[in-house]
Structures are given as C-alpha cells and as structure tokens.
A and B are shown apart, each in its own frame.
Chain A
Amino acid sequence: MSTDIDTAHRHVDTKPVDAVAIRFCGDSGDGMQLTGGLFTNTAALFGNDIATFPDFPAEIRAPRGTTFGVSGFQVQFASTDIFTPGDAVNALVAMNPAGFKTNIMDVEPGGIVIVNEDEFNKGNFKKCGYEESYDPLDDDELNRRYQIVRVPMTRLTRESLTDSGMGAKDVDRCRNMYALGIVCWLYDRPLDPTIRFLDNFFGKKKDKPEIAAANIKALKSGFFFGETAELFPVRYQVARARLDPGKYRKISGNEATALGFVTAAAKANKQLVYASYPITPASDVLHTLSRLKRYGVTTFQAEDEISAVCAAIGASFAGQLALTGTSGPGLALKGEGIGLAVMLEVPLVVIDVQRAGPSTGMPTKTEQADLLMALWGRPGESPCIVVAPRSPSDCFDMAIEAFRLAVRCMCPVIYLSDGYIANGAEPWRLPDLDAIEPIQIEHPSETNNPDGTFLPYKRDPKTLARPWAIPGTEGLEHRLGGLEKEAETGNVSYDAENHDQMSRTRAAKVLKAADIIPPLEVRGPESADALLLGWGGTYGTITTAGDELRDAGYSVSTAHLRYLSPFPKNLPDVLGRFKTIIVPEINLGQLLKVIRANFLVDAVGINEMRGKMFRIADLVDKTVQIIGR
C-alpha cells in the first residue's frame, strides 16, 4: 500500500503547521468515533502529540439526520507539547447537514469544511431544522467565512465499491473511511495504521475479510480523490512532536483508570475486586476490568449501585483490594455505604466519572460538580480522602495513589475522574513497572493486647490507621459495624466522650494522609499577580491558558490540585504568594468555596456549566478581566 502512495504524483504544495484540530461529525450511526479514533492512532504512531475529545449523544441511535443524533470526535495533533483537543476547529468533516449545523460555529474563520454533499438534500434539511428551501452550502456568508469543500462521498464510495458484491447498506457504511482517506491525504498522514486495523478488526476478529477489503478500498479511494480532485490548494504537514524519550501508546482516561487499578493490585500483591453497576460514562472501566481475569481481577456487576459499594466493602473486609465505580447519580446512592466504610475503617476506592447533573442530567457530557458531594455527601462527620486525576494518562498514576492512600489510612478514597478525560485520549509514556513503589499491606496474625485479646481499633500512632485483620485469621475474630465504636476495642459505644474522640480521630487520620502527598507544583513564576488554581480534567486547558497569558506578558501562574482531601501541605504557602487566586471550574464554584472557607482567601471563580471543557480563549479573556479590575 505505502508504495502506491509514495510513488503517486504530488502536485500540491505542502505547508508546515504546528498543530491542527480536526473534528469529524455525522449521525451516531456514521462511525465518527471509529473514524476519529483511527486518525488519532495514525497521528500518534507518526509521532505527533495528540489530545482527543469524543462527543456523542446518550441516545444509541437517535433518528437519522436529527441534530440530537449528531456524534462528533475532535482530535488535535501537534508537533509541540499540547494539553487539549483545541479550542477552534481547523478542519471539520460533516457527513450530513445536522452535523454541519451543530458544529459549524466551532470552526475557525477560514477553516476547512469538508461535507458529504450527497446528504445535503431537502429531506435532511427538514430533519435537522433548516428551512427546506435553504441550502447552507449555498449560503454566501458561510462560503465567505469558511472554505467549504463539497465531496459527493456517498456516490464516490458507491462507485469505488461497485465490484465489491456488497449490499447498498454495507457499501454506504464505508463512507466514513472514504472521508478518512481524504483527511489523511490533506494532512499527509500514512494509511498503513488504518489498513492494519481494518484487516485485524474486520478481517481477523470478525472474520469478514470482504468488509475489511471494502473499507480499505474506500479509504484509498478517498486518499486518491484528495490527490487528484484539486479541491485543496495546499496540504498541511505537522511534524513529529518532541516528546520525552520512551515508549508510548495512546490511552483514554477510562483505560488508564482500569490499568492503574490493576497495577495497584499487582503492586499490593492482592486480587482486585471491582463491583459496579453500569452507568455512563464509567461503564468502560467495568468492560475493561471484566476482561482482565488473568491479572487477578474479579468483577461483579451488581444489581444496583448500593449493592456494588456494599459488595466492595465486604471484599475489603475479607482482605482484597476493593473498588467500586460509578458516576454522580451512583455516588449519591453509594453515600450510605461509603459512610459505613468510614466507620468500619476499611480501605475502599470509589471511582466517580463525573457527568453533567443533577439527576440524569446530560450523561455523556462532562462536569466537575460532584466535588462537594465527594467531600461531604454523607451523614455525620464522614471524612474521606479525595483525589482527582488531571488528564487521561494521569488516571493511571492516581489510581495507584488512591489505593496506596486507602490502604495506608484504612479509609475510603474517592477518585474523581470526569467524562472529558475518561473518554479523551493522549499519548502515554509507558511506565517503568519496577520503579513503581510496592503498596505495603500488613495483615496482623497476632493479637495486639497484652491480655491476649485482639483490639481491632488500636491505632498505628504514625498513621492513626487501625490494623486490617482479615477473616480466616485464627485468634483475631472481631466484629465490625456501623454503630459507633469504642476506641481500641471496637465494641459498640454510646459514650459521649468516646464519640467526640472517635469523630476527631477519624478526621485527623484523613489529614495525616498529607504526610505522603506530594507538594503542589506551580507552573510559571513562584509568585505573581494571579494564580489559576484548578483540579481534575481542566488541567490541559488551564495550563495552556496560563502559558498563553505569560506569553502575552501577564504575571500569571497555574497550579493543579490532584489531592483535594487532604490538600498538599504547601497549599496555604502557595496561595499566599499570589495577589489573586482564580479558580476555574466546570461547576458553580465548589473548590472555590473550599479554598475560601479553609484559607480565608478572597479567591475568584471562573465557572461554566456547558457540559464541555472551557475554551482556552475564554479562560484567557476572563483571567485578563479579573486581573484588570
């Protein structure tokens, strides 16, 4: 294949660019996620830095041609270090009018818009709410604003596959590969990785070599069309990025989460028991882990969210690394169970892949509005450790951190991912497994009281953790429960002094986790006019905004919290070194409240609730407004 391409006659100039953001959009049945994913693979394997943003409706197959059935996939690939999928789309591929209508406003002025012209007909205009008589492709203003490139993809795909022997429906399913071929030509990316995938997936795994062949034919036809049709005055080329040396793969946040927890279990020399109930956008963690039985993983698809957290606590009591995972609505249901784990003082990790709420909200859209629930959403004084990965690959590291802390402190850890990093992907430099510290676990086998009895709540003075004695151990039989515990003996106690002391001890124990939490790092000057302080999935956007602000001459630094309870010990010191603390969050000001309350700092929020990531440009503008006033 590659020889065909290499020897093909090129008569178009190539223009080098640092970074390109492409968005593929179409019906949710058009295969846009696959198309975007394959282009991402191609760019990653070529050596570009990448960041992706898949955006799809909750409806599996919404009525064809409607705006609410539009599925999109954005990828930015670059020759420089990038942190986000990009604000403005440089090139849009719209497979139908609905995709065009819902995405065109995100394209930069002058941007390329490649459309499947065959789908731009009266029937489809009506379905997506355009006037029947209005053809957006003929709109003068749109044509002035964008380079609209019309390609009759349906017809051309059909023509290229006339000899395939396949039915019309199957032939039309290859249109996305035709589109991908055009894009690969336009951005000078090789077809080999996609051909390899199609051969493996359709040819070998699904045993449909004819489907593989047809898709490959469509892909190549699209590529050759790009080359011969002279629709594009120029091709673009994005050079390899200078990433740190090492071996890389592409990884999404949910994949990294699953792999991180498997690695944690291996480092702890334990089985991983994952109990979960399917929920968007966390289900992929269950899917991934359920395939990893060979790696010491047991998965349990529970009857509901409550059962999932309770089964995990049971597994923890019985001595394995116990994990449950969900999204916001499920975290609410798990609250009582997590409170029990606080009382039992057993290690437990709870994944919350946050989505837009409240209630069912917008299941496939991202948000950061579960922070206060994670911190306080349980009856009574119920302290938990809360951590938040900041990017897809960071999910791996924070998953290991979550268990390290849960086991050390014998308490629940809530791991706040979000839809944006869970589904987004980036290059991941593969870790050196030997360099990851083992997770030390000690199960006592001897009694700890001179009189020969076992005291299940006798604490380690260093960590304040109680011993993790597990069933099956002779002589250490003990009872745990949700009723308040007497210090040391763990017997039921209604004593006033005891309850006061135990409540304070549980809180102090969580604070002690800060002993092993790394200090907060500042990017930019150690002291400046303003600090952009974020947490979770906004890392890439805030970091990029901060870099742009500094490039523009503003005195701004950024810092990103991966540990939200307890905070890194140096946080008060960092806060004190900046005139203004700005907290951008995809909520209405949750970390902001905590920072203001805990540190008496007059911090200011930048808040959006749009179900998607900030635009870098908006963050920059709003920061300038705040600093300026």
Chain B
Amino acid sequence: MHHTQLPTYKPKDFATDQDVRWCPGCGDYAILKAVQKTLPTLGRRKEDYVFVSGIGCAARFPYYMDTYGLHSIHGRAPAFATGIKLANPALDVWLVSGDGDLLSIGGNHTMHTLRRNVDINILLLNNRIYGLTKGQYSPTSEFGKKTKSTPVGSPDYPVNPLSWAIGGGCTFVARSIDIDVLHLEKVMARAAAHRGTSFVEVYQDCNIYNHQTWFYASQKKTRPDSTIQLEHSKPMIFGADSDNGLQMDGTRLKVVELSNGVSEDDLLVHDETDRGLAFMLTQLSFPEFPEPLGVIYASTEQETYDHVVHEQARQVIEEHGKGDLYKLLNEGETWVVEDE
C-alpha cells in the first residue's frame, strides 16, 4: 500500500472541502492553521494521522483536517484515542478538544490517559468558557466569574490544567497561545516528537462568550511582561526590555530585575526534565508572575502504554510461541464419548 517515498505535503493537503464553521474571529482558526502547517514538517504519511475529538467548538477540529478523524462524544475522546493506539500503535493520534470536554466531563479519561502515558498528542484549546452551549462557566473559569449559569459569580475554584497534568503523571507539558502561530508550530513539533502523552494547553480566545480572557498574554504591549518564554538550559528572562528574570528564593520563585547587581548568571535556568520545577512553573499566574509559554516539562524516562502492552504480548509469544487455538480449546481435562 505505502509508496516507499514520502510525498511532499503542503498545508493545504491537510485541509478538507468542508466549510469551517467557527465564529469569525475565533482563536481556533489560527490553531487549525498552525496544525496544518506543522504536519507537513513531521515526516509522516497523511493516512497515518488520526484526529480525535470530543464535543464542543474545538471538537469540530477533525472535520477540517483531511486525515482520518473521529468526532466522538462528550468527554470521551481520550478513551477513543487509547483504543485506536491499542488496535494500531503505528498510527499518529492527535486529540483536540476544549477545557469543558477534557477537564470537566472528560476529566476522568484525560487523567487516566496521562498517567498511562499513551503515545498521543493532546491539544487543550482553553478559552475558559463553554462556547457551543452558549456561555456557561467552565472548569477553568475564574472564581466569581459571571456567566449565564452563574449570574452572581462562579462559586467554583478553577483547575490549573498544567499543574493537574503534571500531578497526573504526564510526561510532556507545554503551553502556547492562539495569536502566535510560529510559537504554536514550534511547540506542536516538540509535542509530536515526544514519545508518550504530550499535553499542550493553548490559550484560545472565544470572541463571542469570553472575549479577551487571555488579553494580557495576547496583546503586543502587555505580553512581554505577562508571559515568559521558556527554553531548555536558558536562564529565565522576560519583560519588554528583557530586564526581568526568575530566581529561587528559598523554596519559592520570585521575580527580580536584571540590575542592582543581579545578572543573568543569577537567574534560574530552565530544566525541562525537572518535574518539581515544572510544577512550580505551572503555578505561576499573572499579575504576580509572568505565565510560562513553551515546553515546561518533557521526560523520556517512561515507556509508553501502547509500547508496554504490545511488548508484553511480544514477550509472551517469544517465550511460549504463538497460541494454537486447537490446543486452547482442548485445554484441561477432556473425555471421549465413543460411537455406540
């Protein structure tokens, strides 16, 4: 079936003939574009990609990707993705869904997929609101947020998706933002290269029900001071004039100015393999701290779930040989009834 030579794909090869039906101005457009631009660079065949989603605006994603796709039911996308990998580990599975789908109704499945380290890529498009059901608060909405279902303010404390992912045993955690397509592509390429579950939170704007929820991180003016671009082995510098940094102060992180005797050498250096540091970084929130973007955590120490499952089968067959169905049915004690 496969030709030996990998075809050269262009982004448009991954676009379907279906009209994209997100609201004009929705952050999802940029994310779709970034994915379509990233895939041709990954060196894989188009027919080996499967895009899986649950329910919600973000979950329409597979309809717009000319790959194999499964638009499933609310919250269960991680389970479908797991089943696909169990059936055929050679497939490259991408799961795209929103904060309600993956963290509320699907929180259970997402958690178990992360801890199993199933070899899939998860893009969490986080707009901190329910869009498709028209504006109720989501599990990432701020405490006290007024929405259609919380007229006097949300009584729920929000979940921090990345802290939760690290706590859940995820082996790759990153964050990006819809207005920066180049950054998105870079992070997605890293996520794609990771063996195991990659979990990428994308700050995404719902311009109808929660416009500018990520205002501070998305505006040219405020972005440099409200976010920090992480790079492995590089000191943690941020700010419009690159004049701020992060430093350890006892057991906590603190923001320092790069003057008054503080130099780059005094700053904390990002180590994406350090799980404890990664957790601390995911806890940083604006305005007290800049919010980290880029690869926060990436560990290759753990085998993937699909590998372990298939390796177990391979080993059993290696030790005992392929099963003989006749012998299996004839197992245990048998007796013969003769013709009389």
Contacts and interface: CB of A to CB of B under 8 A. Distances in A.
Contact of B88 (A337, A472, A474, A491): A472
Interface residues of A, number: 72
Interface string B66-79: 11111111001011
Interface string A450-482: 000000000000000000001111111111111
A437 interface: no
A318 B80 CA distance: 10
A308 B45 CA distance: 29
Nearest to B317: A294
A478 B111 CA distance: 28
Contacts of B332: 249-250
A294 B47 contact: no
B94 to A, nearest CB: 12
A314 B87 contact: yes
Given A44-B335, A472-B90, A294 B320 contact: yes
Contacts of B152: none
Given A293-B316, A477-B47, A246 B84 contact: no
Interface in A30-85: 41, 44-45, 47
Interface string A303-327: 1101110111111111110100000
Contact of B68 (A242, A313, A477): A477
Contact of A293 (B66, B88, B111, B312): B312
Contact of A317 (B1, B67, B70, B309): B70
Contacts of B73: 310, 336-337, 340, 482
Contacts of B90: 472
Given A259-B329, A479-B70, A47 B335 contact: yes
A209 interface: no
Contacts of A474: 1-3, 45-47
A303 B108 contact: yes
Nearest to A302: B79
B306 to A, nearest CB: 10
A41 B84 contact: no
B82 A314 contact: yes
A1 interface: no
Interface residues of B, number: 67
Nearest to B69: A479
B338 interface: yes
B87 A318 contact: yes
Contacts of B317: 293-294
Contacts of B331: 249
Given A245-B338, A474-B1, A477-B68, A295 B79 contact: no
Contacts of B146: none
A271 B328 contact: no
Contacts of A243: 337
B334 A247 contact: yes
Question: Secondary structure at chain A's binding surface: helix, strand, loop or mixed?
Answer: mixed
Nearest to A196: B333
Contacts of A482: 55, 71-73
A193 interface: yes
Given A242-B340, A314-B87, A45 B70 contact: no
A292 B323 contact: yes
A241 to B, nearest CB: 8
Interface string A231-261: 0000000000011111111100000000100
Given A262-B325, A433-B326, A471-B50, A315 B336 contact: no
Contact of B87 (A242, A292, A304, A322): A322
A478 to B, nearest CB: 7
B265 to A, nearest CB: 47
A102 interface: no
A588 interface: no
Nearest to A249: B334
Contact of B83 (A249, A304, A313): A313
B337 A479 contact: no
B20 interface: no
A41 B65 CA distance: 59
Given A430-B330, A472-B1, 17 more contacts: A293-B317, A300-B83, A307-B78, A307-B109, A311-B82, A313-B80, A314-B80, A314-B82, A314-B87, A318-B91, A319-B87, A336-B73, A429-B337, A445-B1, A473-B1, A473-B47, A479-B71
15 contacts: A271-B87, A300-B86, A302-B79, A306-B79, A307-B78, A310-B79, A310-B83, A313-B72, A314-B52, A315-B84, A337-B76, A340-B72, A481-B63, A482-B55, A482-B71
Interface of B: 1-3, 16, 18, 45-52, 55, 62-63, 65-73, 76, 78-84, 86-88, 90-91, 108-109, 111-112, 309-310, 312-313, 316-317, 320-323, 325-326, 328-340
List the 5 closest pairs (A to B, CB-CB), nearest first: A314-B83, A481-B71, A311-B83, A310-B79, A294-B323
Interface of A: 41, 44-45, 47, 193, 196, 242-250, 259, 262-263, 266, 271, 273, 275, 292-296, 298, 300, 302-304, 306-308, 310-320, 322, 336-337, 340, 344, 429-431, 433, 445, 470-483, 491-492
